[in-house]
Amino acid sequence: MFHRPPVFRRAMTFIVLCAFTATATFSSQAQQRNPDQLVGQTVLDAPASSYRFERFVVESADGQRRWRVNLGVPVRPSTALAPVLYALDGNAVAMVLDQPLLAELAASPAPPVLVLIGHDNERRIDSVQRTRDYTAWIDRADDESGQLQVVGGGAHAFLDVIERQVKPEVARRASIDPQRQALWGHSLGGLFVLSSLYTRPAAFQQYVAASPSLWWSQGAPLGDMETQFIDNSAGQPIQLWVMLGGDERSGNRGVRDMANPRVVAHLRRVGGAPSDAAHALAGRLAAVPGLQVQYREFPGLGHGPMLSASFKATLAALYGIADHGAVQGAH
């Protein structure tokens, strides 16, 4: 497992903080993700036209944790088995979809079944729960109060939930092709995509890791994970897309409120990997037998906008619709 030495981490932390402090505007209007944003009205609440949506909930064995799954099935009848796309951060993805996009998708030659997997609440993104579910590595870092926090490590258990509970229920409700299953995730979700690829590559045939958080656990995901894939793939061909915003690769994170302790704590942690780590990783994985890798960069986009852009680009790459991911606003 890969670890940065302590002296290197401290140096990187200082460099990162100085760089962002020099460019930040200390304003309440600084661009920050709102951790308490609610989902609101989405296509899930609209009458069925091209896609009909239904919801089911799965829970952990102890009944303490619950995941909400919104299942989108093309309205147009088809005799062929449908491909299926499993999307993490399902509540946020529901906010990305609109009726024109769904109509275009439904009119494609092989409309996919959409499986939006989120946490069972009204938050766009549940930061605490997704941190636990999407990370295969334990992370030890200071929080915004300077206190050591030990978080993460639940990815394998969450993949079990998808495999043993979500997938069987999807197969019961929709006619899907088990040989055309894709998994998409952004940020920590992108990290989950990679750890799933490494450890259980047969779970899906297509993997899309958008802006994966390779800085997690002081860069632990940058270790020699290819050997895990080789050991577990049994020689079957797998497709992987790695997507990254151009501003992410250049290290431009836009305006940040450096007076916000949560922001400062986060910037300390992202120093665990260089900004172009995803690009470098894609190149490394392209040399792995049985793994077909495509890397795509989105000029001018930062980390946050990549959720929407990468999901739309995934629909284009996998299902042949127009590439709406290429048309995005700036930061």
CA nearest neighbour of 275 among 35, 15, 26, 3: 15
Catalytic option among 303, 308, 310, 324: 303
Active site residue 187: yes
Q: Kindly report the backbone phi and psi dihedral angles of residue 229, in degrees, each rounded to the nearest multiple of 5, phi listed first.
A: -60, -45
Catalytic option among 104, 195, 211, 248: 248
Active site residue 28: no
Active site residue 303: yes
Residue 175 makes CB contacts below 8 A (sequence gap 6+) with 78, 81, 82
Distance from C-alpha of 325 to C-alpha of 189, rounded to nearest angstrom: 18
Q: b vs e for 178-189, b when ≥16 Cβ sit within 10 Å of the residue's Cβ?
A: eebbbbbbbbbb
CA distances from 96 to 12, 303, 320, 325, 330 (A): 35, 15, 18, 11, 16
Catalytic option among 50, 186, 187, 195: 187
Q: Enumerate the active-site residues.
A: 187, 248, 303
